[in-house]
Amino acid sequence: MYLKISTQTGDKPSAYELQEKGRQFIAADTFPALAELLNIKEETLRAKMYNRKYTQFFVPKPNGEKRLIENPEDWLKSLQGQLNKHFQAAYYMVRPPCAYGALLAVADEVKPRNIYTNALRHIGQKWLLNVDIRRFFSEYQL
């Protein structure tokens, strides 16, 4: 039986709840265990895994180029969201002190890590490096 974080939508889990969720994800080391963790029948998960669909479209970038967007169908987006929460919970236990970006917020975090607290660390510094990796998500460029 897997722990279900009992917080309501918009509430932050406690560090304990997040760690338990992370442990459960790490322990789900087989396909049947992963299906159980995600609360989906194994046959359904396997069928969906081989039949995933994305809607592709382009949005203009400020420089005039176009960015390819690959939007998953609702069921896949939901599944990816669930997996992301489990990945984040597992990462919570091993994240290095320098990690600030894209972390789940925890209700009882003594020193929260977010975009604001990350910015505070850089105030008054002589140098700041900002990097954008070209074609990080897709090989296709127009």
pLDDT at 140 over 60: no
User: Do 3 and 18 form a contact (C-beta atoms < 8 A)?
Assistant: no
Q: State pLDDT tens for residues 32-60.
A: 999 999 999 999 999 888 888 899 999 99
Confidence of residue 3 (pLDDT cuts 50, 70, 90): very low
* Residue 39: C-alpha distances to residues 68, 83, 99, 128 (Å): 32, 12, 30, 44
Task: State the pLDDT confidence band at 132, using cuts at 50, 70 and 90.
Answer: confident
**Model confidence band, residue 8 (pLDDT cutoffs 50, 70, 90):** very low
Helix axis angle for 15-27 and 74-92, nearest 10°, is: 110
Instruction: Among 1-15, 19-33, 90-104, name the most confident range.
Output: 19-33
Report pLDDT for 1: 42
Interatomic CA distance for residues 116 and 109, integer angstroms: 15
Round to whole Å and give the CA distance between 81 and 30.
20
Tokens describing residue 97: 């002190």
Helix (H) or strand (E) holding 15: helix 15-27
pLDDT of residue 130: 84
Contact between 24 and 37 under an 8 Å Cβ cutoff? The reply is: yes
Q: Which helix H or strand E contains 132, and what residues bound it?
A: none
Average pLDDT over residues 14-29: 94
Asked if 90 contacts 25 with a C-beta cutoff of 8 angstroms, the reply is yes
Q: What is the pLDDT of residues 54-111, one digit of tens each?
A: 999 999 989 998 988 999 999 999 999 999 989 999 998 898 888 888 788 888 888 8
pLDDT of residue 137: 67
Give the closest residue to 103 by CA, choosing from 8, 22, 7.
22
